[in-house]
Amino acid sequence: MLDVTQLTRSYGQFKAVDNVNFSIGKGEIVGLLGHNGAGKTTIMKMISGYLEPNNGDVVVDGLSIHSDAEKIQCELGYLPESLPVYPEMIVADYLDYAADLKGLQGEAKINEVRRVIKATDIASKLLSPIATLSRGFKQRVGVAQAILGQPKLLILDEPTNGLDPEQTQLMRALIKDIAKNATVILSTHIMQEVEALCSRVIMLRTGGLVVDEKIDELTQSNHLLLETNFPLSEIKQLSGISGVEKVSPLPSSALSNELLQDVNGYRIEINQPTSGRQVSAEIAEKIIQSGYQLYSLKTERRDLETLFKEVNEGGFKKQEVSHAA
């Protein structure tokens, strides 16, 4: 659906985006992450046709931004972080104007405006001047204009900014519904939104692409977390299992079963080429055969916020290991 190839943009001697390549398929919700100045906004503006790249191309559904920018823009919805609205206009007039800009006419235009009003729950503010709206309502008006015309590509920059928890949940549900028939790029600094909505993340640092991975694979690690009453004195039995590199005891504060008596926690490092499922099965078998209880055995998840910090500090290393059972 979307192919970005060797995308580059400079401002004088400063290279804001440097030879970035990625592809996004229909139905994907992809998080575009990076600190301020990493190149996110510049990439989004080039995809939308607002900025021309110095080099490279953006192809949307087979159309190049160089030769078919207007056709692409008809199939695109864009919510910038600071929405350029007209404060003196009432909401209904603004949506009518936005629908005109997207080429909607007649009954189709009326039905589409009604659809986005319902989807974003802004009916109560239709006759209010935009200048009088709260930040949350302005954000919802911005989303409403972005989804007019049911775009094939939707670019959202901080879509939940200013929304309360209930409105955030409604926004998440709306974005997931849109993604059934569209491609969605979500740029945000809120990692919870990325984890709740995205299946994949693209991380930028100083204009370059550093990470392009599925979240499930990115947050996987080569460590298992074990909770059992298997005694520390017999830990060598676990260390001797094929594929186990190291077994370390965990403090009681790290346990999920703190209220159970005689619970020990262990962090088990396994060889990267080893199957996590196979090691897990052998650990479980060893514990049960030894007459002890197995309370929990799972793969340790890497925190997305920590990974983001590692990427921006240059210390990120992708870990490759099969999923544990």
DSSP characters for 234-272?
Answer: GHHHHHTSTTEEEEEEEPGGG-S-TTSTT-EEEEEEE-T
- Identify whether 313 is part of a domain: no
- Identify whether 12 is part of a domain: no
- Identify whether 13 is part of a domain: no
Q: According to the model, what pLDDT value does residue 162 have? A: 74
Cβ distance 43 to 2 under 8 Å?
no
- Identify whether 18 is part of a domain: no
Sheet holding 2-11, edge to edge: 14-24, 2-11, 55-60, 63-64
The count of structural domains within the chain is 2
Evaluate if residue 57 carries a pLDDT over 60: yes
- Please say which residue of 155, 185, 218 terminates a domain: 218
| pLDDT band at residue 178 using 50, 70 and 90 as cut-offs | confident
pTM of the model: 0.76
- Please say which residue of 188, 218, 248 terminates a domain: 218
- Identify whether 260 is part of a domain: yes
- Please say which residue of 171, 189, 218 terminates a domain: 218
Do 75 and 129 reside in the same domain of the chain? yes
| pLDDT band at residue 322 using 50, 70 and 90 as cut-offs | very low
Which letter does DSSP use for residue 189 in this model?
A: S
Do 89 and 146 reside in the same domain of the chain? yes
SS3 286: helix
Question: Phi then psi for 255, rounded to 5 degrees?
Answer: -85, 145
Do 184 and 240 reside in the same domain of the chain? no
Do 236 and 190 reside in the same domain of the chain? no
Do 150 and 269 reside in the same domain of the chain? no
Q: Select, from the ranges 60-69, 219-228, 264-273, 275-284, the one with the highest average predicted confidence (pLDDT).
A: 60-69
Evaluate if residue 323 carries a pLDDT over 80: no
Cβ distance 65 to 57 under 8 Å?
yes
User: Mean per-residue pLDDT for 310-317?
Assistant: 67
Domain containing 165: what range? 27-51+60-218
- Identify whether 307 is part of a domain: no
CATH number at residue 107: 3.40.50.300
User: Mean per-residue pLDDT for 55-69?
Assistant: 91
Degrees, nearest 5: CA angle 126-119-185: 115
- Residue 233 and residue 309: Cα distance in Å, rounded? 37
Which of 121-125, 228-232, 298-302 has the least mean pLDDT?
A: 298-302
Task: Report the mean per-residue pLDDT for the chain.
Answer: 86
| pLDDT band at residue 309 using 50, 70 and 90 as cut-offs | confident
- Residue 118 and residue 74: Cα distance in Å, rounded? 22
Do 175 and 85 reside in the same domain of the chain? yes
| pLDDT band at residue 217 using 50, 70 and 90 as cut-offs | confident
pLDDT tens-digit readout, 279-306: 899 999 999 999 998 988 888 877 788 7
Evaluate if residue 318 carries a pLDDT over 60: no
Q: According to the model, what pLDDT value does residue 35 have? A: 86
- Identify whether 126 is part of a domain: yes
CATH number at residue 265: 3.30.70
- SS3 breakdown of the chain: % helix, strand, coil, rounded to 5? 35, 25, 35
Name the maximum alpha-carbon separation found in the chain.
Answer: 78
Do 148 and 214 reside in the same domain of the chain? yes
User: Mean per-residue pLDDT for 214-234?
Assistant: 85
- Residue 125 and residue 302: Cα distance in Å, rounded? 42
SS3 325: coil
Do 228 and 188 reside in the same domain of the chain? no
Q: Select, from the ranges 123-132, 208-217, 238-247, the one with the highest average predicted confidence (pLDDT).
A: 123-132
- Identify whether 305 is part of a domain: no
Query: How many other C-beta atoms are found inside a 10 Å radius of the C-beta of residue 119?
Result: 17
Do 241 and 113 reside in the same domain of the chain? no
Give me 325's structure tokens: 């059972």
Do 111 and 40 reside in the same domain of the chain? yes
